Amino acid sequence: MIFVMDIGNTNIKAAVFEGKKLLKRWRCATDTSMTSDQYGIIMSDLFRYHELNIRDIEGIMISSVVPTINFTIEHMCRDYFGKESRILVPGMKTGLNIRYENPRELGSDRIANAVAVSTLYGGPSIFIDFGTATTYGVVSDKGEFLGGAIAPGLRMMNRALSSGTAKLPSIELVVPPKVIGKTTVCNIQSGVLYGYIGSVEKIVGAMKAEIGCPQAKVIATGGMAHMVKSNSTVIDEINPDLTLTGLRIIYEKNQA
């Protein structure tokens, strides 16, 4: 079995794979103030709850966009799993030709997503990760990561609006039935949510036009994926385990 972790700005997603089969997955909060022992206890409890033996893990692969927590997690892996973890960095075998001017600027989670999309769906494909930030990526039919776009996430937009104004409240992220709202809350929901969905549609449409493939498949992952898909036709498929699967594939490619 192998253990993979995707460390994001808000959450840490983790999963256990046996071969290609995903056995269990879970998430916990990203907290840079926590110690390796605190994270170790959380992981140990989760393994016990799911009736898995933490010492059966043969290897660990990690992607992280929070460098300040990496040492803590690496320490936790040594103490509680008895294994040295691998953190996804430029230079690892991915099977992708990364067409980025400076590949070191590319977030490791986006690399994992691109690998998973290229392997599972082929190209040309577009992937969208609805996380703290909304990240887009394009994979060609030749297995190339062509680049993408980064935008604020939906929750970040909501927080910015309420914290940056004196009277506007923070709202529940629910799509209102009509664009023309009759209350302040409905007005904000309409502006934030319909505006966000419209930006997703615009970016995807522009990407398809640039690569000259209006039929390019669009794969989504992340917390807001279902909300966008249920209110738009732009997303073809949701894969909640896209990043974790990409990490599993990259681990296997680097076994030799």
Instruction: Give the active site residues.
Output: 109
- The structure tokens listed for 12 are 């840490």
- Strand, coil or helix: 11: strand
What are phi and psi for residue 185, nearest 5 degrees? -60, -45
- Strand, coil or helix: 27: strand
3-state helix, strand, coil in the chain (%, to 5): 40, 25, 35
Q: Which of 91, 209, 92, 96 is CA-nearest to residue 142? A: 96
DSSP one-letter string for 182-226? SSHHHHHHIIIIIHHHHHHHHHHHHHHHHHT-TT-EEEEEETTHH
Query: Distance between CA atoms of 31 and 98, rounded to whole angstroms?
Result: 31
